[in-house]
Structure formats: C-alpha cells, structure tokens
A and B are shown apart, each in its own frame.
Chain A
Amino acid sequence: DQQVKQNSPSLSVQEGRISILNCDYTNSMFDYFLWYKKYPAEGPTFLISISSIKDKNEDGRFTVFLNKSAKHLSLHIVPSQPGDSAVYFCAASARRTGANSKLTFGKGITLSVRP
C-alpha cells in the first residue's frame, strides 16, 4: 500500500524551462512533506520541505506547493539546469499524531534536463 505516490517514473525538460514534479499521498495524518534529490551512488540530499499549515514554500529556484484537499504536492524547479538531473523523492511524515518523524517515501522520479 503506497501512501506516497510518484506516478511518473521520469521527466525530461529543456534547460531553462520549468520542471514540475508531482506527488500524491493517501494518509491524511501526514503533516510535513519533504523533497530529496539523489545522485547515483550517493545518499539522498534534502532539498526543500513544507508544513501542512502552509501551501507554498520557496527557496531559490525551488518551490513546493501543497494542496491538502487534493492530497497533492508538487516541486517546481525554474529555471531548470543540467545539474538538476537526478532522482527526486517525495517524502512525508505524521508528526502531529505524536508519532516520530520517520519518513514515508515515494518511489522517486528521474529528472533529465537537456542542455
């Protein structure tokens, strides 16, 4: 039972354009969401996060949008750069239930940015 779903396994965009990576979740108890970026043979690197009390968080070229009613979040990268090519994981945790901060991950999406 996938509680965090990244339904598109891959995305290819042109350098300079916007990349939009989508993520859906089913557990309404999730209240904190994170995006991680992973290069081959390396561990995931934290990119950006958002609390459920917000609907948008921006950090430089990266913006995460959260739609709680739709249980959907998205990561926007603009402008996209070739160095952004990596696997991106969406993750969620349910802290307000008093549970610990263990993360539930999606399967990841491979982003390729073409020069």
Chain B
Amino acid sequence: GAGVSQSPSNKVTEKGKDVELRCDPISGHTALYWYRQSLGQGLEFLIYFQGNSAPDKSGLPSDRFSAERTGGSVSTLTIQRTQQEDSAVYLCASSLDEVSSYEQYFGPGTRLTVT
C-alpha cells in the first residue's frame, strides 16, 4: 500500500508569512507524529496524535506552531509568522502504535526555507 505522503516537498517563504504543511498517513495507522530536522541536528519531536485523544503538543517550539488532524487521518502543521530559525525539514510519521508494532513510518518530508 501507499506510504506516508507529505506536501509540498519544498516550500520557500518570506519571513513573517504563514505556511501550512500537509501529511497523509498510512491508511489504518492511528498514531501520527510530526518531527523536524534542522541542519546538522537529529530529528526533533513536535507533536503527536493518537486516535481521539488530546494531542501531545509538548514538542512545539512556540505558540506560532500548531497542528490539527481531521477525521483521524490527514494532518496539517501550521507555522505562523515564520522566522528564519524555522527553516528545516519537517517530517511526518505514522504508526499502528500497538503493543506489537511501535515502529513509525516516515514520509519524505517538506523542506521549508524561510528567507
């Protein structure tokens, strides 16, 4: 079946603009995660959705960042008033998040460049 897909693959925006990044998880996966990878760094957790539970937003770096997941499937990560330090690759992952399967499957990422 299809893997995790993300759009756009690349986004260049001017400082101060808002951006929306989209993630389509693997069908049937109840858990969805957003991470970002800044230059020379590992992947940094941002937010986690599991079913109908309240999301874990503990990784969001500021209140300019928000995310939602509609219908338990597609997710959108929104960054308001973008700053240059927001430039990174934003990765989405999904998983079954069950006792037998904790592995997360990643999309190709969206490379965000804030000029």
By a beta-carbon cutoff of 8 Å, the part of chain A in contact with chain B is: 4, 6, 32, 34, 36, 41-46, 49, 89, 91, 93, 95, 100-108
Q: Are B43 and A44 in contact (CB under 8 A)?
A: yes
CB <8 Å contact, B109 and A43: yes
Q: Known interface pairs A45-B106, A46-B103, A95-B102. Does A108 touch B91 (Cβ–Cβ under 8 Å)?
A: no
Measured CB to CB, the closest approach of chain A to B76, in angstroms, equals 18
Q: Is B102 within 8 A of A101, CB to CB?
A: yes
A44 touches B91 (CB 8 A): yes
Nearest-neighbor residue (CB-CB) of A95 within chain B: B102
**Contact indicator per residue, chain B 18-57, by CB within 8 Å of chain A (1) or not (0):** 0000000000000101010000111111001010000010
Contact A49 B103 (CB under 8 A): yes
| B4 in the interface (beta carbon within 8 A) | yes
Contacts of B40 in A (CB 8 A): 107
Using CB atoms and an 8 Å cutoff, list the residues of chain B in contact with chain A: 4, 6, 31, 33, 35, 40-45, 48, 50, 56, 59, 91, 93, 95, 97, 102-109
Let me know if B56 and A107 touch, CB within 8 A. Answer: no
Across the interface, which residues of B come within 8 angstroms of A43, CB to CB?
4, 6, 91, 93, 106-109
Contacts of B50 in A (CB 8 A): 100
Nearest CB of B to A33, in Å:
10
Which A-chain residue is minimally distant from B49 (CB atoms)? A100
B108 near A104: Cβ-Cβ < 8 Å: no
A104 to B35, CA, bound (A): 10
Instruction: For B106, list chain A residues within 8 Å (CB).
Output: 36, 43-45
Q: How far is the CA of A100 from the CA of B23 in the complex (A)?
A: 20
How many angstroms from the CA of A108 to the CA of B43 in the assembled complex?
Answer: 9
**Further 11 A-B residue pairs, CB within 8 A, beyond A44-B43, A44-B106:** A32-B102, A46-B104, A46-B105, A93-B102, A100-B48, A101-B95, A102-B45, A102-B48, A103-B45, A105-B42, A107-B41
